[in-house]
Structure 1
Amino acid sequence: MKKMLINYKDLVELGFKPNQARTIIRNAKILMAKKGYPFYNGKRVGSVPAYAVTQIIGLSSSEKSEGDNK
């Protein structure tokens, strides 16, 4: 089963710097709040859906794996 939520530690493990990872999570929270999920306005919320992160960074997991093979 794929992981549905991502936090900043997951992004750091993927190779992002800590500040970049926090910025991505922050932007994903803003995106989710604009989509009508007020839960993501909370300061203590640190996990966001994976699809929100892929929209922020502009890369899906399938595109990443295809790029690794070339």
Structure 2
Amino acid sequence: MPNTTSNIMVTADDIETMGFKRGQAVMIVRQVKQIMVNRGFELYNNKRLGVVPKSAVLDLIGVSNDGDVKY
């Protein structure tokens, strides 16, 4: 499934297309939402919100924007 949101926001479906299983993708979205709340973005403190910043997802999984693995 192609990215249905945008280049800067992703959903669990988009994360699945990166190669993660459904449960892992949902957990990544939850963790990124918690990180964003901790950074002061209260918008992400919402169970119904299913999109998160792509940059935060890449930081969480340890990959840079160009696909290199971060150590």
Larger Rg: 1
- How large is the RMSD of aligned CA atoms in angstroms? 1.6
2:28 maps to 1:44: no
* 1:8 Cα deviation from its structure 2 partner: 0.2
2:26 maps to 1:22: yes
Corresponding letter in the other structure for 1:43: K
Match of 1:57 among 39, 42, 61: 61
Percent of pairs with identical residues: 36
Q: Greater helix share, 1 or 2?
A: 1
How many aligned residue pairs are there? 64
* 1:45 Cα deviation from its structure 2 partner: 0.5
* 1:13 Cα deviation from its structure 2 partner: 1.1
* 1:60 Cα deviation from its structure 2 partner: 1.6
* 1:54 Cα deviation from its structure 2 partner: 1.1
Q: TM-score, normalised by structure 2?
A: 0.82
In structure 1, list runs of 5 or more residues that go unmatched: none
**In structure 2, C-alpha distance between the alignment counterparts of 1:26 and 1:7, rounded to whole Å:** 11
Question: Which secondary structure does the structure 2 equivalent of 1:61 belong to?
Answer: coil
Q: TM-score, normalised by structure 1?
A: 0.83
